[in-house]
Amino acid sequence: MGENEWVMNVNQELQNMGDSSSEMEQWKKRSIYRVPSCVTDLNKRAYKPQSVSFGPYHYGEPNLESMEENKHRALLHFLKRYKKPFECYVKAVMEVVEDLKHAYSALDQKWHQDTMGFVKMMILDGCFMLEILRAATTDDVDCDINAADANVVDDYASNDPIFSNHGKLYILPYLKRDMLMLENQLPMLLLNTLVAVTKDENNPNQVISISRHIFF
Protein backbone atom coordinates (compact mmCIF):
# COMPACT_ATOMS: atom_id res chain seq x y z
CA MET A 1 0.00 0.00 0.00
CA GLY A 2 1.47 3.33 -1.06
CA GLU A 3 1.63 6.43 1.12
CA ASN A 4 -1.16 8.25 -0.72
CA GLU A 5 -3.49 5.25 -0.56
CA TRP A 6 -2.91 4.89 3.17
CA VAL A 7 -3.59 8.59 3.74
CA MET A 8 -6.81 8.32 1.74
CA ASN A 9 -7.94 5.26 3.69
CA VAL A 10 -7.30 6.90 7.06
CA ASN A 11 -9.13 10.05 6.00
CA GLN A 12 -12.07 7.96 4.80
CA GLU A 13 -12.20 6.07 8.09
CA LEU A 14 -12.03 9.38 9.94
CA GLN A 15 -15.04 10.69 8.03
CA ASN A 16 -17.00 7.53 8.78
CA MET A 17 -16.01 7.48 12.43
CA GLY A 18 -18.92 7.95 14.80
CA ASP A 19 -18.94 9.27 18.33
CA SER A 20 -18.07 7.30 21.45
CA SER A 21 -21.63 5.97 21.77
CA SER A 22 -21.34 4.15 18.43
CA GLU A 23 -18.04 2.66 19.55
CA MET A 24 -19.70 1.51 22.76
CA GLU A 25 -22.42 -0.23 20.75
CA GLN A 26 -19.81 -2.07 18.70
CA TRP A 27 -17.96 -3.28 21.79
CA LYS A 28 -21.20 -4.33 23.48
CA LYS A 29 -21.80 -6.82 20.67
CA ARG A 30 -18.66 -8.75 21.61
CA SER A 31 -19.14 -11.54 24.13
CA ILE A 32 -16.65 -14.26 23.10
CA TYR A 33 -12.93 -13.56 22.86
CA ARG A 34 -9.66 -15.21 21.97
CA VAL A 35 -7.39 -15.83 24.93
CA PRO A 36 -4.22 -13.73 24.46
CA SER A 37 -1.15 -15.70 23.41
CA CYS A 38 0.77 -14.34 26.39
CA VAL A 39 -1.63 -16.41 28.51
CA THR A 40 -2.04 -19.51 26.34
CA ASP A 41 1.72 -19.87 25.87
CA LEU A 42 1.99 -20.78 29.54
CA ASN A 43 -0.08 -23.94 29.01
CA LYS A 44 -1.60 -24.38 25.56
CA ARG A 45 -3.66 -27.48 26.44
CA ALA A 46 -5.37 -25.64 29.27
CA TYR A 47 -7.11 -23.33 26.81
CA LYS A 48 -7.92 -25.74 23.98
CA PRO A 49 -10.90 -28.12 23.84
CA GLN A 50 -9.89 -31.76 23.87
CA SER A 51 -13.10 -33.48 22.72
CA VAL A 52 -15.47 -31.11 20.91
CA SER A 53 -15.44 -27.70 19.27
CA PHE A 54 -18.21 -25.17 19.80
CA GLY A 55 -18.13 -22.11 17.58
CA PRO A 56 -15.55 -21.00 15.02
CA TYR A 57 -12.30 -20.67 16.94
CA HIS A 58 -11.43 -24.38 17.03
CA TYR A 59 -13.68 -25.59 14.24
CA GLY A 60 -12.05 -28.15 11.96
CA GLU A 61 -9.13 -29.02 14.21
CA PRO A 62 -8.13 -32.63 13.44
CA ASN A 63 -8.37 -33.92 17.00
CA LEU A 64 -11.98 -32.69 17.25
CA GLU A 65 -13.27 -33.86 13.86
CA SER A 66 -14.57 -37.20 15.13
CA MET A 67 -17.26 -35.43 17.19
CA GLU A 68 -18.88 -33.88 14.10
CA GLU A 69 -20.88 -37.00 13.22
CA ASN A 70 -22.30 -37.00 16.74
CA LYS A 71 -23.42 -33.40 16.25
CA HIS A 72 -25.31 -34.37 13.12
CA ARG A 73 -27.02 -37.29 14.86
CA ALA A 74 -27.98 -35.02 17.74
CA LEU A 75 -29.46 -32.53 15.27
CA LEU A 76 -31.70 -35.23 13.79
CA HIS A 77 -32.91 -36.31 17.23
CA PHE A 78 -33.51 -32.68 18.17
CA LEU A 79 -35.60 -32.07 15.04
CA LYS A 80 -37.55 -35.32 15.40
CA ARG A 81 -38.39 -34.66 19.05
CA TYR A 82 -39.65 -31.10 18.69
CA LYS A 83 -41.42 -31.67 15.35
CA LYS A 84 -40.71 -28.25 13.89
CA PRO A 85 -39.60 -27.89 10.25
CA PHE A 86 -35.85 -27.58 9.91
CA GLU A 87 -36.42 -24.49 7.79
CA CYS A 88 -37.82 -22.71 10.86
CA TYR A 89 -34.51 -23.07 12.67
CA VAL A 90 -32.50 -21.96 9.65
CA LYS A 91 -34.73 -18.93 9.16
CA ALA A 92 -34.55 -17.98 12.84
CA VAL A 93 -30.76 -18.20 12.94
CA MET A 94 -30.41 -16.34 9.65
CA GLU A 95 -32.38 -13.47 11.16
CA VAL A 96 -29.74 -13.00 13.88
CA VAL A 97 -26.67 -14.24 12.01
CA GLU A 98 -24.94 -10.85 11.90
CA ASP A 99 -25.37 -10.45 15.66
CA LEU A 100 -23.94 -13.95 16.12
CA LYS A 101 -20.92 -13.07 14.01
CA HIS A 102 -20.38 -9.84 15.93
CA ALA A 103 -20.40 -11.80 19.18
CA TYR A 104 -17.00 -13.26 18.26
CA SER A 105 -13.95 -11.06 18.56
CA ALA A 106 -11.46 -11.41 15.69
CA LEU A 107 -13.74 -13.72 13.72
CA ASP A 108 -11.91 -15.26 10.77
CA GLN A 109 -12.75 -13.57 7.50
CA LYS A 110 -13.87 -16.86 5.95
CA TRP A 111 -16.94 -16.86 8.21
CA HIS A 112 -17.88 -13.34 7.10
CA GLN A 113 -17.70 -14.55 3.51
CA ASP A 114 -19.49 -17.87 4.06
CA THR A 115 -22.66 -16.94 5.93
CA MET A 116 -24.43 -20.22 5.17
CA GLY A 117 -21.43 -22.18 6.43
CA PHE A 118 -21.50 -20.12 9.61
CA VAL A 119 -25.24 -20.76 10.05
CA LYS A 120 -24.71 -24.50 9.55
CA MET A 121 -22.00 -24.53 12.22
CA MET A 122 -24.14 -22.51 14.62
CA ILE A 123 -27.15 -24.81 14.25
CA LEU A 124 -25.15 -28.03 14.56
CA ASP A 125 -23.19 -26.76 17.54
CA GLY A 126 -26.19 -25.12 19.17
CA CYS A 127 -28.43 -28.17 18.94
CA PHE A 128 -25.61 -30.39 20.17
CA MET A 129 -25.04 -28.16 23.18
CA LEU A 130 -28.75 -28.10 23.96
CA GLU A 131 -28.84 -31.89 23.76
CA ILE A 132 -25.92 -32.08 26.18
CA LEU A 133 -27.70 -29.72 28.58
CA ARG A 134 -30.85 -31.77 28.24
CA ALA A 135 -29.05 -35.08 28.80
CA ALA A 136 -27.39 -33.69 31.90
CA THR A 137 -30.74 -32.71 33.41
CA THR A 138 -33.08 -35.53 32.39
CA ASP A 139 -33.26 -36.80 35.96
CA ASP A 140 -34.64 -33.44 37.07
CA VAL A 141 -37.84 -32.60 35.20
CA ASP A 142 -37.89 -29.05 36.51
CA CYS A 143 -34.51 -28.37 34.89
CA ASP A 144 -35.10 -30.24 31.65
CA ILE A 145 -34.57 -28.17 28.51
CA ASN A 146 -38.15 -29.01 27.65
CA ALA A 147 -39.96 -30.32 30.71
CA ALA A 148 -43.14 -30.86 28.71
CA ASP A 149 -41.35 -33.62 26.80
CA ALA A 150 -40.01 -35.41 29.85
CA ASN A 151 -41.67 -38.62 28.66
CA VAL A 152 -39.29 -38.85 25.68
CA VAL A 153 -36.00 -38.16 27.39
CA ASP A 154 -34.58 -41.53 26.32
CA ASP A 155 -35.11 -41.27 22.58
CA TYR A 156 -31.49 -42.19 21.82
CA ALA A 157 -30.32 -45.77 21.35
CA SER A 158 -29.37 -47.52 24.55
CA ASN A 159 -25.81 -47.87 23.24
CA ASP A 160 -25.48 -44.35 21.84
CA PRO A 161 -21.84 -43.26 22.28
CA ILE A 162 -22.81 -39.91 23.80
CA PHE A 163 -26.36 -39.98 25.13
CA SER A 164 -26.66 -43.52 26.51
CA ASN A 165 -26.20 -44.10 30.23
CA HIS A 166 -22.63 -45.17 29.49
CA GLY A 167 -22.01 -42.03 27.44
CA LYS A 168 -23.50 -39.79 30.10
CA LEU A 169 -21.19 -41.33 32.67
CA TYR A 170 -17.94 -41.49 30.71
CA ILE A 171 -18.18 -39.04 27.77
CA LEU A 172 -20.45 -36.17 28.81
CA PRO A 173 -18.11 -34.99 31.59
CA TYR A 174 -15.40 -34.32 28.99
CA LEU A 175 -17.84 -32.48 26.74
CA LYS A 176 -19.06 -30.37 29.64
CA ARG A 177 -15.45 -29.55 30.49
CA ASP A 178 -14.87 -28.33 26.93
CA MET A 179 -18.03 -26.21 27.19
CA LEU A 180 -16.24 -24.19 29.87
CA MET A 181 -13.29 -23.29 27.63
CA LEU A 182 -13.18 -19.54 26.99
CA GLU A 183 -12.57 -19.96 23.26
CA ASN A 184 -15.17 -22.70 22.92
CA GLN A 185 -18.37 -20.77 23.57
CA LEU A 186 -21.64 -20.16 21.76
CA PRO A 187 -23.60 -16.91 22.02
CA MET A 188 -26.54 -17.13 24.39
CA LEU A 189 -28.55 -15.50 21.62
CA LEU A 190 -28.09 -18.65 19.52
CA LEU A 191 -29.31 -21.04 22.22
CA ASN A 192 -32.27 -18.83 23.07
CA THR A 193 -33.18 -18.58 19.39
CA LEU A 194 -33.18 -22.35 18.93
CA VAL A 195 -35.18 -22.96 22.09
CA ALA A 196 -37.68 -20.26 21.08
CA VAL A 197 -38.42 -22.15 17.86
CA THR A 198 -39.14 -25.36 19.77
CA LYS A 199 -41.54 -23.59 22.11
CA ASP A 200 -42.98 -20.85 19.88
CA GLU A 201 -41.91 -18.39 22.56
CA ASN A 202 -38.78 -16.66 23.77
CA ASN A 203 -37.69 -17.30 27.35
CA PRO A 204 -34.06 -16.13 27.65
CA ASN A 205 -33.80 -17.22 31.27
CA GLN A 206 -34.38 -20.92 30.64
CA VAL A 207 -30.99 -21.79 29.15
CA ILE A 208 -29.23 -19.72 31.81
CA SER A 209 -31.01 -21.51 34.65
CA ILE A 210 -30.21 -24.92 33.19
CA SER A 211 -26.54 -24.01 32.75
CA ARG A 212 -26.34 -22.85 36.34
CA HIS A 213 -27.90 -26.10 37.49
CA ILE A 214 -25.24 -28.13 35.66
CA PHE A 215 -22.09 -26.16 36.37
CA PHE A 216 -22.71 -24.48 39.73
Would you write out the chain's pLDDT as a tens digit for each of its 216 residues?
567 889 998 998 888 877 766 666 666 778 999 999 999 999 989 999 999 999 999 999 999 999 999 999 999 999 999 999 999 999 999 999 999 999 999 999 999 999 999 999 999 999 999 999 999 886 554 554 545 454 445 789 999 999 999 999 999 999 999 999 999 999 999 999 999 999 876 666 667 666 655 554
d(CA 105, CA 79): 30
Helices 188-199, 204-215: axis angle to 10 degrees equals: 120
- pTM for this entry: 0.84
Amino acid 14 reads: L
Burial class (CB in 10 A: 0-12, 13-18, 19+), 82: middle
Q: What is the pLDDT of residue 22?
A: 64
Tell me the C-alpha distance between 175 and 207, whole Å: 17
DSSP state for residue 135 in the 8-state scheme = H
DSSP SS3 for 52: coil
Q: Which helix (H) or strand (E) holds 176?
A: helix 172-179
- Going by C-alpha positions, the residue among 180, 178, 174, 209 that lies closest to residue 192 is 209
Which residue, 26, 208, 44, is CA-closest to 105? 26
Amino acid (one-letter) located at 7: V
